[in-house]
Amino acid sequence: MGQSRMNVSVLIAATLLTVPAHAAQHLRSPWDGETVKLTAAPYTCPAIVHLSPDLTTSGFYSDSKSSIIDPAKWKAYVASSGPYKELGAQIVDAADSYRTAGSRDAAQCALEKMQAAAKDGVFTGKMSSNQAYYVQGWVIGAIAIAYLKVRDSGLASTEQDQKILSWIVNVVHQTMNYYDTRRQKGTGDAENNHLYWAGVEVSAAGIAANDRKLFDWGMNTYIDGVAQIQPDGSLPLEMRRGQRALHYHLYALAPLVYLAEFGQDNGLNLYAQNNYAIKRLAEVSSQGLIDNSFFTKATGIPQDAPNGPPTAEEISWAKIYNSRFPDPTISKLLAEAPSLSYMYLGGLPPG
């Protein structure tokens, strides 16, 4: 396992040698270079809620494949994780209101909420379970992306910037330690979709803090992920999820697309990795939203099929992907989606 990681790091280092020196000096995000004009568009900022540095929550599946939700466990999970996810949702919504309407009030709201969470040390304490670490990663990843969306507003003071970035980086180091330890033990969540989501969290934080080590850690998770994509586009670890195999292929694809885009913005053509493996995954996963027989046949279990048009969770990644690799099937799914705002990915996709 350690040798694999070393080889991945060498691969990234070799790729970086091809990037002009000036391009490697400052890490970029997909939102950089898009001018947003500040406006007086009103935005009502929800009251600040102070949360504990610790998160006590547990998983909610009842079977060995983690495919059947236990109603009682789900209720407890929603109650315990809900306030933390709501913090992420509020910050993401404010950041998107700044990006779409130029609202000064919205940008200030996002920054003030991030600063308050930083002062409270949210997520810097004890995570009670694997699930707690997942929630930590999803929310901090979303907040890191929200920061990337508002950092060009010119409204953050130096003190705010330092406080927010120090907090985010502190939390992502916890994430890295968690997954690095799990990888050494060979546990499943250190190789499947959870690792890719951690990659988005850590690489977004790396871009925000201009920290190459964090950024490279995130890029490593992408290379690890696409190395698992089979010739037919499937991911073996996600195919084990029984009736939720299609769901988890889409759930793994979303962070991989964002990681590839972060790499592209910084001189790394990760889309080409493993003979453009991500295209195979995108094709089989998006087709599954129309006809999931491939997953039913592969698992021997009827799939939890989407009921109605695709949700943002299922298809928001495609806004980025389709700009790189236009596909009529994906274009149709995007047009049908009522929303593309997905909190775990920081709200609205770039572009």
Residue 24 is predicted with a pLDDT of: 52
Q: Which residue has the tokens 């913090």?
A: 87
Give the model's confidence band at 186: pLDDT under 50 very low, under 70 low, under 90 confident, else very high. confident
Q: How many domains does the chain have?
A: 1
Q: 20 in a domain, yes or no?
A: yes
pLDDT at 22 over 70: no
More confidently predicted of 72 and 189: 72
pLDDT at 240 over 60: yes
Q: 350 in a domain, yes or no?
A: no
pLDDT at 242 over 50: yes
Q: Is the dihedral of CA 151, 157, 162, 163 positive or negative?
A: negative
- The two tokens of residue 292 are 């999931």
pTM for the model: 0.93
The CATH number linked to 241 is 1.50.10.100
Q: Cβ(152)–Cβ(36) under 8 Å?
A: yes
182-196, 199-213, 324-338: which has the minimum mean pLDDT? 182-196
Give the model's confidence band at 11: pLDDT under 50 very low, under 70 low, under 90 confident, else very high. low
Q: 44 in a domain, yes or no?
A: yes
Q: 111 in a domain, yes or no?
A: yes
pLDDT at 171 over 70: yes
Give the model's confidence band at 190: pLDDT under 50 very low, under 70 low, under 90 confident, else very high. confident
pLDDT at 8 over 60: no
Give the model's confidence band at 19: pLDDT under 50 very low, under 70 low, under 90 confident, else very high. very low
Q: Which residues of 211-238 are buried (b: 16+ CB within 10 A; e: fewer)?
A: beebbbbbbbbbbbbbebbeeebbbebb
Q: 351 in a domain, yes or no?
A: no
Q: Give the type of residue at 232.
A: D
Q: Cβ(271)–Cβ(264) under 8 Å?
A: yes
Mean pLDDT of 40-55: 98
What's the angle, vertex CA 67, arms to CA 63 and CA 72, rounded to 5? 65
Residue 34 is predicted with a pLDDT of: 87
What is the per-residue pLDDT across 300-323, written as a single tens digit (0 to 9) for each?
999 987 788 999 999 999 999 999
What is the per-residue pLDDT across 250-295, written as a single tens digit (0 to 9) for each?
999 999 999 999 999 999 999 999 999 999 999 999 999 999 999 9
Residue 284 is predicted with a pLDDT of: 97
Mean per-residue pLDDT of the chain:
92
CA distances in angstroms from 20 to 4, 125, 267, 302, listed in the order given: 27, 40, 9, 50
Mean pLDDT of 14-41: 74
Give the model's confidence band at 248: pLDDT under 50 very low, under 70 low, under 90 confident, else very high. very high
Q: 48 in a domain, yes or no?
A: yes
Q: 310 in a domain, yes or no?
A: yes
- The two tokens of residue 144 are 């890191």
Mean pLDDT of 192-216: 97
Mean pLDDT of 78-84: 97
Q: Give me the domain span that covers residue 183.
A: 2-345
Residue 3 is predicted with a pLDDT of: 36
Residue 20 is predicted with a pLDDT of: 41
More confidently predicted of 51 and 186: 51
More confidently predicted of 8 and 338: 338
Residue 61 is predicted with a pLDDT of: 87
Q: 66 in a domain, yes or no?
A: yes
pLDDT at 86 over 50: yes
Q: Cβ(269)–Cβ(263) under 8 Å?
A: yes
For 177, residues 6+ apart whose C-beta sits below 8 A from its C-beta are: none
Mean pLDDT of 77-83: 97
